[in-house]
Amino acid sequence: MRTDDFDYPLPDELIAQAPAEPRDSCRLLVLDREDGHVEHKTFTDIIDYLEPGDLVVANKTRVLPARLVGKKRGTGGVCETLLLKRREDIDAMGHVWECLVNPGKRLKQPGIVIEYRAGGLHAPDSAPVVLTGTIVDFVEDSKGGRLVRFDAVGTDPATGEPRTLDEAIHAAGHVPLPPYITQYEGDPEKYQTVYAMHEEHSAAAPTAGLHFTPELIERIQAKGVKWATVELEVGIDTFRLVTEDDPTQHVMHTERYHVPQEVVDAVHATKAAGHRVIAVGTTSVRSLESAWEGGEEGDACGVSALRFPEEPGDIVARENATTNLYLMPGSTYHVVDAMITNFHVPRSTLMMLVSAFATREEIMAAYQAAIDEKYRFLSFGDAMFIH
């Protein structure tokens, strides 16, 4: 198995630059993994493939306004910072974040200060500075990450009270769209799912869920299909390609996730009744499969790496756990019976994940069919249902 096995030619014009409107009007490619048969539908047709008693599990995480554009104090050079993870192990007050910074070569030295103005990306020089970021250190075992301490500046104009750090980040920040979306200037809320929680923890959206509307969810539940949510805090590494020729040498990124007891109970009841667990997106897949406790990977934190043959075990509740689960052909799925997903970047761990659920040959054939039929790809693109 080589990383090249998960590559395919993706025409630039098929990379979606805006979401479908309405959300559930996008196209849906249905792949039957028993025989590789493909059908072409509309996303609203997903209800026809769900059966009473099935359980749909979605990731309710919400995207942070994690893209900050500011200027280096003293020189005025433009700097971009992407918030990845709050490091409360370093600062209990939550002021220190793990970030990606650009230009990285100019932001090496601890003590460098970046100033961010209200309005962020398009803020005039007259806009007030609402946030500062101070370079603390490099992030160990990362590709150019930095530890940055953030501090709010000034007062909230609405209350006259000192700004909290979260208020300052919201005043200066923007929702970070993936780097391949270069033309979208619409409502950033379109890059959030309609069922997202209030708290914001992710650097990227669980994009397979973007296709659902409240009305479609209501129709699904009215059919007798159960709906449940987990949370996985999506990291920016989800956009990174596998650069090693041998994919087993790739170091999988770690993400925080939560699978509550009520979801575990719903999975148990669904399986006992002979029905299916259907994951919305690869992040829900990773949450559910990471919560499987059995064999060598079943530790108290739910941390998993490569996983292969069948072993006894069970799904268990996970609260504030971390996972680096890496699913590729040969891996075993224990919880998920079907999945809704988008079309993924070539040479990515997500291509390997879906190829572990169906087969590599079926996935590549389905992707070629989607290209032939001019489907829209990646985060704002069309959907697949693999069952």
Please classify residue 214 by burial: count the beta carbons closer than 10 Å to its beta carbon, then call 0-12 exposed, 13-18 middle and 19+ buried: exposed
Please classify residue 140 by burial: count the beta carbons closer than 10 Å to its beta carbon, then call 0-12 exposed, 13-18 middle and 19+ buried: exposed
* Rounded Cα distance, 204 and 235, in Å: 6
Cα–Cα separations (whole angstroms), residue 376 to 45, 87, 205, 352, 369: 17, 37, 17, 20, 12
**pLDDT at residue number 49:** 98
In the structure, what pLDDT confidence band is assigned to residue 300 with cuts at 50, 70 and 90?
Answer: very low
In the structure, what pLDDT confidence band is assigned to residue 137 with cuts at 50, 70 and 90?
Answer: very high
Q: Which residue segments constitute the domains of the chain, with CATH numbers given? A: 3-63+187-386 (3.40.1780.10), 67-172 (2.40.10.240)
pLDDT digits (tens, 9 = 90+) for 366-379: 999 999 999 999 99
Does the pLDDT of residue 255 top 50, yes or no? Answer: yes
Q: What mean pLDDT is predicted for residues 234-256?
A: 84
Does the pLDDT of residue 297 top 80, yes or no? Answer: no
Considering only 85-94, 129-138, 186-195, 292-301, which range has the smallest mean pLDDT? Answer: 292-301
Does the pLDDT of residue 142 top 80, yes or no? Answer: no
pLDDT digits (tens, 9 = 90+) for 37-62: 999 999 999 999 999 999 999 999 99
**pLDDT at residue number 45:** 98
How many residues make up the chain in this entry? 387
In the structure, what pLDDT confidence band is assigned to residue 116 with cuts at 50, 70 and 90?
Answer: very high
* Rounded Cα distance, 194 and 280, in Å: 13
**pLDDT at residue number 331:** 92
**Which of 385, 381, 275 is CA-nearest to residue 19?**
381
Does the pLDDT of residue 140 top 80, yes or no? Answer: no
- The answer to whether 267 and 288 are in contact (CB under 8 A) is yes
